[in-house]
Amino acid sequence: MTLACRKLGSHLPSSTQQHTGPWVVWLHGLLGSGQDWQPVAELCGDMPSLLVDLPGHGESLSQTTHSFADISHQLTQTLQANGIRQYWLAGYSLGGRIAMYHACYGSHHGLQGLIVEGGNLGLASNELRQARLQHDHQWAQRFRLEPLPQVLADWYQQAVFADLDRQQRKQLVSLRANNHGPAVADMLEATSLGHQPWLLPALQRLTVPYTYLCGDRDHKFQQLAEQYQLPLRILARAGHNAHRANPGAFAAQVQSFLSQSSLLTLSR
């Protein structure tokens, strides 16, 4: 089962040719779509990009998933269907968690490296995981049963979005109100932090380069990155959704990471 996606790049091959170099594959956050990444992808030079719609979102609205292993397999099938053999994987929030899982546990042949923006590594105890499952179930029930604008107005009051002002919250509620509440609920429960493994040990064993980006106002995820000594890059004038707040700075960091990683690979 493949996911809906869209290709970007000024030098994409024609339908009769195959691009043999690496792509950047972008995974969005909960309530978003692949379209969220277009401003950044267009600033990332000539390397072609694949903007993926995760299950229950965008043009993958009718697609379902049941676990991290399931969605990792869907991602692999999507890459194969699009002839992508080498790729960098970039993800924000939920997309970052899926990207990390795929890099650590999925079928990731051809993966060149990993770019994570504000992705949670998981929860270290059964007690925390059970509490998170209950927390996400309560949100999922609201997404299923209540008017979406009403739920979103509360969703963007969560502490992780504390950097947003009233107008920014209003804009996000309007932007995300075209989602389908029950589909969001299903995805939220399937990919709850309560179901996600603790990823740090597997991340530390990765043989491909990776970097961790977050905004200078995203204190929670800066602290997480510093606590676990992740390869952190901080973006100015941005909170949790740094690529939306400052796409130019985000694209510059991505290009810097890709360039440095490519040079390191060539020197081996």
* Domains defined for the chain, CATH in brackets: 5-123+197-267 (3.40.50.1820)
Q: Could you report the per-residue pLDDT of 200-219, keeping only the tens digit for each?
A: 999 999 999 999 999 999 99
What pLDDT is attached to residue 45? 74
Beta-bridge partners for 26: 51, 90
Is 225 in contact with 232 (CB distance < 8 Å)? yes
For strand 49-52 and strand 5-8, is the pairing parallel, antiparallel, or unpaired? antiparallel
**Rounded distance, CA 235 to CA 242, Å?**
7
What pLDDT is attached to residue 19? 55
Is pLDDT of 173 > 70?
A: yes
**Rounded distance, CA 54 to CA 191, Å?**
11
- Does an H or E element contain 73, and which? helix 68-81
Question: Of 264, 112, 97, 56, whose CA–CA distance to 197 is shortest?
Answer: 97
Q: Could you report the per-residue pLDDT of 222-234, keeping only the tens digit for each?
A: 999 999 999 999 9
- CB proximity list for 256: less than 8 A, separation 6 or greater: none
